Amino acid sequence: VLAVRMEPGSNRTDADELQRRALVDSFVRLEGIGDRLIHAWTAERELSIALGSPVPAQAAPATDQDTMCWHIRWHFRGLGLAEPVIGISRPVFRLAGLRQGLSESLEALACHDPQDASPVIHHVDIIVARTDPGDYEEIETALLGLVQTGAGDGFITLLQPWFAALRQQDAPLGWIQGLAMNLVMSALRAGSRVAGEPG
């Protein structure tokens, strides 16, 4: 799963919409790749792409990822626009894992440093602490219920294990950052579900 985050555009909504359509049309027509894509706009300037593999039960070839990233970057260069930042998840081997893939691609985006020479970040290259992904689903559901009911005291009980984990001695900085990022991502997704809007 690739997450593509573009620089804020102009206030001309029509021009932005045309640019979004042109971007999608450009890579959908990529020979040998375009017919293996699923895409969705998760925000006005944020596009998610699931790149399927030509071989069942195998990850999409790294060359296909490179081709997609190269094509997207050059699309923006050709328009004289700033290159977008691209986050790439670890391989997902079943449809039920697409949600996890999207989370990982967004986590990779969040770890991008503007000083980095490359705007492409692979999730496998960052340190993110996570427990069983099912725990995140439970936490988000619980957060959603607390937000809807306004039961503020419940947050302390819900988040206590997270803060207890952060108090562990000699925890590496990357591990702490990853744990905190997963908590923030869960809160953002819960908030999005309340608002009824992605992102």
Partners of 2 in the β-ladder: 49, 88
d(CA 36, CA 77): 25
**Cβ pair 126, 112 in contact under 8 A:** no
Q: Render pLDDT for 177-196 as a digit per residue (tens, 0 to 9).
A: 766 777 777 777 767 766 76
d(CA 69, CA 84): 10
DSSP string, 131-180: --HHHHHHHHHHHHHHHHHT-THHHHHHHHHHHHHHT-TT--HHHHHHHH
**Cβ pair 98, 92 in contact under 8 A:** yes
Is residue 25 helix, strand or coil?
helix
Q: Render pLDDT for 81-125 as a digit per residue (tens, 0 to 9).
A: 888 899 999 888 877 778 888 888 888 887 777 777 788 988 888
Report helix angle 13-28 to 62-78, nearest 10: 140
d(CA 145, CA 142): 5
Highest mean pLDDT among 68-72, 106-110, 139-143, 181-185 belongs to 68-72
